Each structure stands twice: as C-alpha cells, then as structure tokens.
Amino acid sequence: MTLRIALAGVSGRMGRTLIESVAADAGCSLHAAIDRAGSPLLGQDAQAALGGSSGVRVSADVPAALAGAQALIDFTRPEATFGYLQACATARVPLVIGTTGFDDAGKARIAEAARAIPIVFAPNMSVGVNLLMKLAEVAARALQDGYDIEIVEAHHRHKVDAPSGTALGLGQAVAGATGRDLARCAVYGREGVTGERDPKTIGFATVRGGDIVGDHTLLFAGTGERVELTHKASSRATFAQGALRAAKWLQGRAPGLYDMRDVLDLK
C-alpha cells in the first residue's frame, strides 16, 4: 500500500522536483497537488508541465486536498506555511516543512501546531546535510579552543533569505556543542575596519548567484591547519527524497515537533 502524499507549492522548483520524486517512489502516490490561488496551473494535471500525467489536478482548495491524505509536504514561503499548519492541524494530517526563513514567532507557531499533529521541521531535508550537522557537533567539541569558526554558504540567485536555514542550523549545532548563544556570537557580515576577530564569534558568509542548488562549508581555522566540512547539492532531488523519507517516518507518530535527525536516528 502506497503512502498518499499531498504536495504544496507545486509550481515552484521544489514542487516540481517533489512531483517527480513521488512518481519515482514505489512506496508513495500523489494524492493532491496544491498551489496558490490565481496560479496558472490550477485545474491542470500536476505532471503536465513535466510531460506526464498523474491523474491529479492542481487545486487551491487546501481542506479538500488534505481529505484522505496521509502527509503534506510543504516547501513554500513562511506566510503560506502558516495556512497549511492550520489546515493540517484541523484535518489531523502529518506535515513535513522544508520552508525556511521563519523568525522566532513563526517557529513558535509551528511548535504550537505540533501539539496537535506530528511535524518534521528542518532547515534542510538532505540526508547528507543532516549528517553534516551531526559531524559539526563532534568537530566543534574537539576544536572549540584555538580554532576560529566560519560558515560559508552559496545558493541560486532566486533565494530570498540569507543566511540559509541550513547555515543557521550549522551555527546552532556548533553553538550548542560549545556552550555559546548564537544570537550573541553570530557575525553576519564584515566591512571596513572591523578590528581583530573575536575568537568566540561564529562568522557567516553568503553567496548568491546563478543556479547553485546549495553549497555549505563549515570551517575551523586554527594555527597551522584548517578543518573543513563541506556538503554540495547538485540536484534538488536530494531534498525531495529526504522529505519523502520524513513523510514515511511520520506515519503513526505521536503529535510533536521532530527534525531530520530524529528521522535518521542521529541524536
């Protein structure tokens, strides 16, 4: 029996990739395809733009789309995600959130919804990136003395938030492992005469350009050596495959807020 998946934001780059990934996964079936009101795709077959046919038409009616669904996967924008949170909580449909760019208030809203339904919320759904998060904690504990910590990320020109959610997640992993408060020690940009580097800071550098899917490097710079942990994504399929893995993992889970390290048993 296949898992009935509803997808949000199917006109976006990740939405199209998710449609392809669901079609390629024998353990999943496309139950519903959701897009914003006014989308030119409304009423069309969800796979039409990909040259195929799914038998599922794109709709903006979220409650109807969730009826009978076993999970919703959302890679959209924070303002759209809040609507899906409420709809999923009402319909008791587990939710996978790959959307980034939430502020603290937005994260609190997700945590509140997780009291009603199980939610996987992660800054990056890639299996490799989440392994990187775990390695970052191990490395940070070993290298916290005498090593300066910098995080460099690069994404395509269309990405609207910076630093990326993944870069911030790496920062949180390092800060937690070394007993720091990221809100106090993060440095998001340098310009002009900045003075010497504070050894307790965690620096972030952001690159935006072209069609870069997502590159992240965690750098520990010591005296006489550098240790670099790097992940490079060459296809959005890695995020889609991770999201499908999370949707399967959510089945039968109690309400609560989970992340990909729960899914991958990396905690």
User: Which is catalytic among the residues 159, 216, 248, 267?
Assistant: 159
151 in the same domain as 103: no
Nearest C-alpha neighbor of 207 from the set 168, 169, 151, 135: 151
Domain of residue 52 covers: 3-121+236-263
Q: CATH number of the domain that 61 lies in?
A: 3.40.50.720
What pLDDT score does 72 carry?
98
Q: If 0-12 CB within 10 Å is exposed, 13-18 middle and 19+ buried, where does residue 191 land?
A: exposed
92 in the same domain as 28: yes
Residue type, 255: P
165 in the same domain as 73: no
User: Which is catalytic among the residues 31, 155, 216, 231?
Assistant: 155
What pLDDT score does 124 carry?
87
- Report pTM: 0.83
Q: What is the DSSP string of 133-171?
A: HHHHHHHHHHH-SS-EEEEEEEE-TT--SSS-HHHHHHH
Q: CATH number of the domain that 187 lies in?
A: 3.30.360.10
Q: How many domains does the chain have?
A: 2
116 in the same domain as 145: no
Tokens 């072209």 locate to 210
Catalytic status, residue 200: no
Cα distance from N-terminal residue to C-terminal residue, the chain: 30
Catalytic status, residue 155: yes
Above 80 in pLDDT, residue 82? yes
242 in the same domain as 172: no
Report residue 49's pLDDT band, with 50, 70 and 90 as the boundaries. Answer: confident
